[in-house]
Amino acid sequence: MDSCFRSPSSRSSHRALTLQSVERDNVWLNGRDRSIVGLNEASYPFLLSQIPDPPLRLYVEGQVSDWLRPAVAVVGSRNPTAAGEEFAFHLAHGLAEHGIVVVSGLALGIDSAAHKGAMAAGGMTIAVCGTGLDIVYPRQNRTLADQIKTTGGLVSEFCIGTGVRAHHFPRRNRLISGLTLGTVVVEAGRRSGSLITARNAAEQGREVFAVPGPVFSPLSRGPNALIRDGARLVESVSDITEELSLILPRVVGRKAMTTELSLQPMELLAAIGEVPTPVNQLMDRTGLTVAEVSSMLITMELEGVVTRAGGGFIRKVVASQSHDDV
């Protein structure tokens, strides 16, 4: 086990390990576009803060400064078929064109295709890592990791210096789903880690999507089983955007982003008062799921209708019209 997660046999050894970890973190923070975000900080990702066991701190490297944009995870096999890899690329490309952040795990195969598809569309992608951010795994994706940092970012809950450990990746998977409104599984075997991500998404109250495949293909067994159990079948980007019912940013000229408010979620807005209202209270008052509430809050915060404060949301008072306008 890595030093920052060891159970020390004495206070002195614990103190030494803690000092080593702090020193490594400080050295790492001297680099460009790096930060450590605490759970109670305003800059902590809102969606991630709503899962049952959010990390107390998050290491972030790259250009991720706005966590309010809607995000979808695209995950799957490390050894996909050519067709599966191509579909993941085009699916992520289409999501990015709708202004959706594509989140994945930096693994070979489907994950890499998803990251590349989002970047090819000029969109943002986030890679959630199962190691400290000073270590790129797998090594073959070092160049891809550097590319992701230029327009998106790398994220990890593991302290600097944490190496590759098999039991860290299931923990990493809960962050992939926790950062997003929904998870799409493209190709996966019955025991794939992608199914862990999908199960996490369901337990976190997020949407689960799956791409169907030939019944004789081992890589179709995971997605087909998810669909049989109630996951949303995905054949195109519209299957995702329509299901999420989000007011999504649209890409203008592949770079500039704008938002269009076509629907005012009045029921949710009415449940938000002049004192901070926690998300769980909003769910109780409206009967909406965490994914539905989160997506609407993201939109309303982008539009300046509500703001975060004191562990909840406050409705902003809109100035009334002047008498000349009546």
The class of domain 31-244 in CATH terms is alpha beta
Which position has the higher pLDDT, 281 or 110? 110
DSSP code string of 128-157: E-SS-TTS-SSGGGHHHHHHHHHHSEEEES
Closest CA to 183 of 122, 227, 240, 130: 240
What is d(CA 61, CA 31) in angstroms, rounded to the nearest whole number? 9
**Cα angle, residue 256 at apex, residues 59 and 263 outer, rounded to 5°:** 90
CA 233, 177, 237, 117 torsion-angle sign = negative
Summary mean pLDDT of the chain: 83
What does the pLDDT read at residue 4?
60
- Continuous H helices in the chain: 11-29, 46-49, 82-97, 110-120, 142-151, 168-178, 193-203, 221-228, 237-244, 266-271, 279-286, 290-302
- Look at residue 95 and tell me whether its pLDDT is greater than 80: yes
Look up tokens 């690329």; give the residue.
89
What does the pLDDT read at residue 265?
65
Are the beta carbons of 50 and 289 closer than 8 angstroms?
no
Q: What is the pLDDT of residues 162-207, one digit of tens each?
A: 999 989 999 999 999 999 999 999 999 988 899 999 999 999 989 9
> In the chain, where are the structural domains located?
31-244, 261-315
Which position has the higher pLDDT, 75 or 316? 75
- Look at residue 313 and tell me whether its pLDDT is greater than 50: yes
Q: What is the pTM of this model?
A: 0.76
Q: Name which of 39-53, 72-86, 92-106 the model is least confident about.
A: 39-53
Average pLDDT of the segment spanning 240-267: 48
CATH of segment(s) 261-315: 1.10.10.10
Q: What are phi and psi of 224, to 5 degrees?
A: -65, -35
What is d(CA 137, CA 204) in angstroms, rounded to the nearest whole number? 26
What does the pLDDT read at residue 263?
39
- Look at residue 34 and tell me whether its pLDDT is greater than 70: yes
What does the pLDDT read at residue 50?
86
What is d(CA 146, CA 140) in angstroms, rounded to the nearest whole number? 12
